[in-house]
Copies of this chain bind each other. A is one copy, B any other.
Amino acid sequence: MTDAPASDLRPELSAALAAARRAADAARPAALAHFRAEGLAADNKDESGGFDPVTAADRGVEAAIRAVLEADRPEDGVLGEEQAARPSTSGLTWVVDPIDGTRAFLIGAPTWGVLIGLNDGTRPVMGLMDQPHVGERFWGDGATAWWAKDGQAPRRMTARRGVGLAEARLCSTFPEVGSPEERAAFERVRDRVRLTRYGLDCTGYALLAAGGVDLVVEAGLYAYDVQALIPIVEGAGGVITTWDGGDPQDGGRVLAAGSPELHAEAMALLAG
């Protein structure tokens, strides 16, 4: 035990957590300046013709986060969605998704978030997800995970256990993403659970950590979509892997569950 507040994660991460919090604080006005604003321009980054809105907010938020991290943590690398990667000389690299849930952001829904993860060269060791419009923040380090609404004391999060598939609550970005095979695999899980909610993006993982959601099944993720969320899910006692049980840090097909038992049940269904 240490003298640090209980919500401050492992002591060796305290300086990094402080930097992540400052970066998330800087991201808020950069994001909110564009949220529900008139004339929000949506570029189309996806050359295949699909819909991937990118907004001025996405770029402004990444710039705000990078400015903080480059000042506070000059030896760390930064891997973001929008700008070129900055190499690390410390062995640590920040992995940033400035606006996760750009479709939610575009329509004005409150479920988007700012993702700031820290990778030690082998795995994500700390993650923070901030929701500027709602005014709440989730963070974790694989050992513990926390949630706080603005002005309220942090609460420790624990994933829900003892829930079988028939009672489980599932979140996913399907039916929007994924190949036909991936969608069929997702539907095998969906058809067995109690309740499915779509399109919550990072909020789904945070709510899994908080015990409200039991499963997240997604495909087509990038590293920056998932790295900040891994230490939050694992810190709450959840399990997060690829669909075949591998390391999820590079994204792709990702399965998160509140318990090892439920994870195994879902993984078997995804395998066909």
Contact = CB atoms under 8 A, between A and B. Distances in A.
Interface residues of A, number: 31
A13 interface: no
A109 B200 CA distance: 8
A44 B214 CA distance: 19
Interface string A161-205: 000000001010000100000000000000000111111100100
The complex is assembled from copies of this chain, and their number is 2
A207 interface: yes
B106 A195 contact: yes
A212 B10 CA distance: 41
A207 B203 CA distance: 19
A245 interface: no
A212 B134 contact: no
Contact of A134 (B110, B176, B200): B110
Given A36-B212, A104-B197, A207 B109 contact: yes
Interface of A: 36, 38, 51, 103-104, 106-111, 131, 133-135, 169, 171, 176, 194-200, 203, 207, 210-213
7 contacts: A107-B169, A108-B210, A109-B212, A110-B134, A110-B203, A176-B196, A198-B198
Given A104-B197, A198-B198, 11 more contacts: A36-B210, A38-B211, A106-B212, A107-B169, A107-B213, A109-B200, A109-B212, A111-B111, A133-B134, A197-B198, A198-B199
